[in-house]
Amino acid sequence: DSGVTQTPKHLITATGQRVTLRCSPRSGDLSVYWYQQSLDQGLQFLIHYYNGEERAKGNILERFSAQQFPDLHSELNLSSLELGDSALYFCASSGSSGRQTGELFFGEGSRLTVL
């Protein structure tokens, strides 16, 4: 158990809908990363938050947004869903601050299926 909790574990929805994925980092970790793993793709970096502030964006679509709350949990919002958004979405947390990053601790992922 990494200490990172993601909900829901599985989600099936229809095209055009909106979903919210939730992540609770390890106790004390200030950094949260979101990654997307689509079929036959590696882990694609989406976004990184540190202590409530956005630190970096990757190839995140404009239909996607995220935030980190004062209690450090994070949510990834996916809207106007398309079939291609079906993927496994991972959240990971890290205890490092500044420009270095320590090892990431991954949640179990949220598997999104868009029909």
Partner 1 sequence: ILNVEQSPQSLHVQEGDSTNFTCSFPSSNFYALHWYRWETAKSPEALFVMTLNGDEKKKGRISATLNTKEGYSYLYIKGSQPEDSATYLCAFFRGDYKLSFGAGTTVTVRA
Residues that bind partner 1 (CB under 8 A): 2, 33, 35, 41-43, 45, 48, 50, 55-56, 58, 90, 92, 99-109
HEC readout, the chain: CCCCEEECCEEEECCCCCEEEEEECCCCCCEEEEEEECCCCCEEEEEEEECCEEEEECCCCCCEEEEECCCCCEEEEECCCCHHHCEEEEEEEECCCCCCCCCCEECCCEEEEEC
How far apart are CB 71 and partner 1 at their closest, in Å?
21
Per the CB < 8 A criterion, the answer to whether 85 and 78 are in contact is: yes
Question: Which residue's CB is nearer to partner 1, number 33 or number 85?
Answer: 33
How far apart are CB 16 and partner 1 at their closest, in Å?
30
Question: Which residue's CB is nearer to partner 1, number 1 or number 62?
Answer: 1
Question: Which residue's CB is nearer to partner 1, number 81 or number 107?
Answer: 107
How far apart are CB 110 and partner 1 at their closest, in Å?
12
Question: Which residue's CB is nearer to partner 1, number 16 or number 58?
Answer: 58
